[in-house]
Structure 1
C-alpha cells in the first residue's frame, strides 16, 4: 500500500464515524444551525429589513421571511456586486459563483468565508465514507480527474467570480495536486471540444483511478478515449475503481457508461450546487443520499404542488415524510434566506435522513393540469428501455398543444444507442408506464383530452449538436428532462 492510501485509512475511519454520529442528531443540529444563522443575520441589511431581532422561533421566521427565487434576490446581489458590505451575510462574500439560470440568465451566488468549507469538506467526506466502507483507499495514489469548468476567475469589484467547479478547483488539497488531471492550462480552455481533446491527450496514458463529472460529459470523455485507443476505458485504465457523479440523475446514463468501461464499477453520487453541497452518497448498500445536516445550511421543505402558492406549507426536517415530493429551500451561512434552489427531492429514509433528487420545480409539464415531473418521465422511459434491452443516450419531453385538429400529446425526443424495432409499440409501453406513475396524466387520456405520447428519434450526437448550437456544450450544462413550452423541442427540430 502506498503512502497516501495508507494515510487515508485512519482519516477515513475517523470522518466516517463522525458522520455516523451526526446522522443520529440531525434534527438537533438543524436547530442549532438555525439559531446561529439568525444570530449572524441580525447584523446584516437583510436581517434588519426582516426584523431578525424580534425572531425567536422558526414559526416567527416563516412569517417574517418569505420564500424567494433568484429574481427576488437580485437587488441584494446587485448591492454586493457594487461593493456593499453586510448585505446578506457579514462582510463580503469571498467568491461569487457564476451559474446559468434557465429563467434568470446569469446568476451570481455568494460564497462566504463561513460557507466555503461546506463545498470543500463535503466532497472530501463523500470519498472518505466510500473509503471507510469499502476499504478501497488505493485510488488515492493514482491519477484523479475532475471534469470541471475553467478555474480562471474574473473579478466583480473586489470579489473573485467564476463557475463553482472552477472555484473549488482552487481549494483542492496540496497533497492531491500531484495526482490531479488535467493540467491547469487545459482546464482553462473555454471551448469544450478543444478542451476534451487536450484532456484525452493528457490522460490516455496515465494511471487513472478516479473520474468525476456530470454523466453526459463523462460519456463524451469515454467516447473520445475509445475512439482514440480502440479499447474499453477499463482496459485503458486498469486501476480505475470509482466514478463520482452529480448534477443529473445517473440512471439514464449508467448502462452506457459502464458498458464503455467494460466492467463493474463503484459509483459515488453527490448533490452539489452553487448554493451549497446538500447531500452525498454515504454508503454503497442503501438507496439515497445522506442530507448534509451539519454544514451551515438550514433546510426547509415545501410540498412540491404548493411551491408556487402564495402561502405554501413550510416544513423543517423533523416534519418531513418518506415518499413525499418536496421543493428544497435553503438558508445558509452564505446569506441565502428561504431561497428556492429549484430542485425537488423525496426522502427514502428518515432514520437517517436520505433522499433522492426528483426533478426541478420549473422543469415540468402541466399544459393540461397533469404536472408531470422529471422522476416520472425518467422512470417510465428507463424501466421500459431496460425491459426491451434498449439503450438511451439522452432525451427530453415537451407538450404538443397545437396539433392541426387531432388531440394534443406529450412529445418525447429520444436519442437511442439502439432503437427499438417497433417505435410505436415501444412508445405505447412507455405511455402505459407514465399512466401508472401519474394519475392526472392517466385521467387526461381516459377523458380523451390527451392522446398517447409520441416518440421522435434524434440522430446520433443530436443532443450534443443541439447544445453546441446554443453555446452550452460542456462544463456543468445539461439538457432539461422536460419543459412546459416548446423552446427546446423546436430547437431540436434540425436534429430529428
Structure 2
C-alpha cells in the first residue's frame, strides 16, 4: 500500500502533466470507435480541438449509444468489450440510468480508488488496526441484463464487489452472496448475522444505510455502541451524501472512530480524503479520467464555457465534466464542486446541478441546506436521520417559501428555535435567499415538519428505491417529493 503513495504525490505535484497524459491516452484508445470516427479523434492533438469538435453530453444525449450497447453492440463509445453497466439510483428523475463500465474503468479507476483508499488509511494512521480484521461493505445488488445474454447491471458497488480480486474479497465482509442479495430488508438481517461474530475493523457505505445496519446490530446484541461489538473498529469510509448532518449520530453509535470521505459514483471514482484532519478531498488525476469544469453561471447555456484544471479558481462552484475509459465523453455527471486547494487540487462537493431550490431566484444549493441544518441541529441538540426540502409556491393570497420535511433520531429541544436557526443560517450563507427573505417580501420563514422515525424508509420502499446506493433527494425545485411524503405521513402515521 505504501508503494502507491509516491505516485499519488506525483500527480499532486504535476497535475497538468498527468491530465494531459490521461487526455492523450483516452483519445488514442477511442479513435477507432464509432464515436471516435464521428468526431475524428485520430486528428485530435490538442484539447482545443477536442473542445471544438466534441459536444458536452448529458445522459439523454448519450442514451441512444448506450441503449445499443445494452443490446450487445460493441466499439460504440469505447474500444474494449463492455458487459457491465452501473445502474444509477435515479434520484433526479424517475428513470434509471445505465452507465457503461469497461474493464479499464474497473481496474484503473474503481479498483485503483479502493487501493488508494487503503493506502491513505495507512499514511494517515501508521498504527492502524485496519488489517487485523475485515471491512464491512454495505453495497447493492446485480441483475442479468434482459436485453443481451451475458451482460449485467446493478449498483456500482455491486459491480465492483463482483469483480474484486481474491485478496480484496478476503479483507471484506459479509460474503459476496449476502452482499449482493436483492432484498434490502433481508440483506440487513443477513449482514448483521454474519458480521456480529467477526472482528470488523472498518465499514464502507452510504451513511443512511450504515446507520440502519448498525442500529439493527445493536438491537440484536444489546450493546450500547458498535465498539462493544467490535473493539478494533476504527474507521468509517463514507460517500454519496454529505456526512456532517450524520456525524453526531455516528459518534454515538461508534464513539472514538475516524472518518474518511470518498467521492465515488456510477461514472467513476473521483476523490479521496487524503488528510483526515481536513474536510475536503484530493481530486484523483490518474484514474483514466480527464476533467473539465463549467462555472455555475454557464451551466444552463447551450454552449457553456469549460475550464481545465489550470484555469479553475478557489471557492467557486463548478459543474464537473468528465471523459473516461468507459466512453463517457464530455459528460455532465450532475455534481457541483468547489476547489478548496489548487496545489494540490482538492474539492468539496457542493450539490447537484439538478438538486436545488430556485423557485424565487434564491438559488439554494445542497451545501447551503446542509450547512443550515447542521447549525440548527447543533443549536437545539437534535440528531438527524434524513431530510428533504422544496418550495411553497406563491398563491393568490399567500407568499412563497420553503418547506422542510425532517426525520430526527433525537428531536430538537425547540422546533421554533430549530426553524429560526435554519432560516438565519440560510440567510448568512446565501445572499440571494437573504434578499428574498427581507421583510418577508418574497419568502416567508421556512415551514418545518418533524415526521416520525421510519418515514423516509417507508417512502423509499413505496417507490421501490430500497438499496445501498439509494439516496433521499435533499432538494427539489418542485413539490413532488414533499407531497408524496406528506401524503404518506397523513395516511400511515
TM over 0.5: same fold?
Answer: yes
- Report the more deviating stretch, 98-107 or 319-328: 98-107
Q: Is the 8 A contact 1:380 1:434 kept in 2?
A: yes
* Structure 1 residue 152 displacement after superposition: 5.5
Pair 1:78-2:67 in alignment: yes
The correspondence for 2:489, drawn from 485, 489, 495, is 495
Q: Does 1:226 align with 2:215?
A: no
Q: Return the match for 1:22 from 11, 20, 24.
A: 11
1:346 maps to 2:338: yes
Q: 1:100 to 1:388 in 2, by over 3 A?
A: closer
Q: What is the Cα-based RMSD across aligned positions, in Å?
A: 1.7
Matched, 1:253 2:246: yes
Equivalent residue in structure 2 for 1:126, among 104, 112, 117: 117
Alpha-carbon deviation of 1:220? 0.2
- How far the C-alpha of 1:183 sits from its partner, in A, is 2.0
- Which string of whole-angstrom CA distances, capped at 9 and with x for unpartnered residues, describes residues 363-420 of structure 1? 0111111111000010011023113322121111100105562211100111122323
2-side partners of 1:17 and 1:210: how far apart? 25
- Describe the superposition over 1:341-365 as per-residue Cα deviations: whole angstroms up to 9, x where unpaired: 0111111101111101111110011
Provide the residue aligned with 2:106 in structure 1. 116
Give 1:188-337 correspondences, 5 Å limit. Answer: 188-231=180-223, 232-261=225-254, 263-337=255-329
Question: Gaps (5+ residues) in structure 1?
Answer: 1-11
Report what 1:49 is aligned to.
38
Q: Deviations over 1:96-119 (max 9, x none)?
A: 222232336121111112221111
Q: Secondary structure at the match of 1:425?
A: helix
Does residue 140 of structure 2 align to residue 149 of structure 1?
A: yes
On the 8 A contact 2:401/2:445 being kept in 1, the answer is: yes
Deviation at 1:185, TM superposition (A): 2.7
Residues 466-481 of structure 1 aligned to structure 2 (within 5 Å): 466-481=459-474
The answer for the alignment partner of 1:434 in structure 2 is 426
Cα distance in 1 for partners of 2:285, 2:77 equals: 21
Shift of 1:225: 1.1
> Residue 151 of structure 1: CA displacement?
4.8
- The superposition leaves residues 144-167 of structure 1 with CA deviations (integer Å, 9 ceiling, x where unpaired) of 211101256546424333321111
TM-score using structure 1 length:
0.94
Task: Report if the CA contact (8 A) 1:466-1:495 is conserved.
Answer: no
Structure 1 ranges of 4+ moved more than 6 A: none
Matched, 1:37 2:26: yes
Cross-structure match for 1:367: 359
Alignment gaps of 5+ in structure 2: none
C-alpha separation between the residues in 1 aligned to 2:415 and 2:475?
Answer: 20
SS in 2 for 1:193: helix
CA contact (8 A) 1:289 1:356 kept: yes
- DSSP 3-state at the match of 2:356: coil
Are 1:275 and 1:341, in contact at CA under 8 Å, matched by a contact in 2? yes
Q: 1 CA distance for matches of 2:100 and 2:434?
A: 43
Asked if 2 retains the 8 angstrom alpha-carbon contact of 1:392 and 1:416, the reply is yes
Structure 2: distance between partners of 1:92 and 1:300: 26
Render the CA deviation track for 1:405-457: whole Å, top value 9, x for unaligned: 22111001111223234322321221111111111111112260111211111
Partners of 2:412 and 2:161 in 1: CA distance: 42
Question: Are the aligned partners of 1:397 and 1:481 in contact in 2 as well (CA < 8 Å)?
Answer: yes
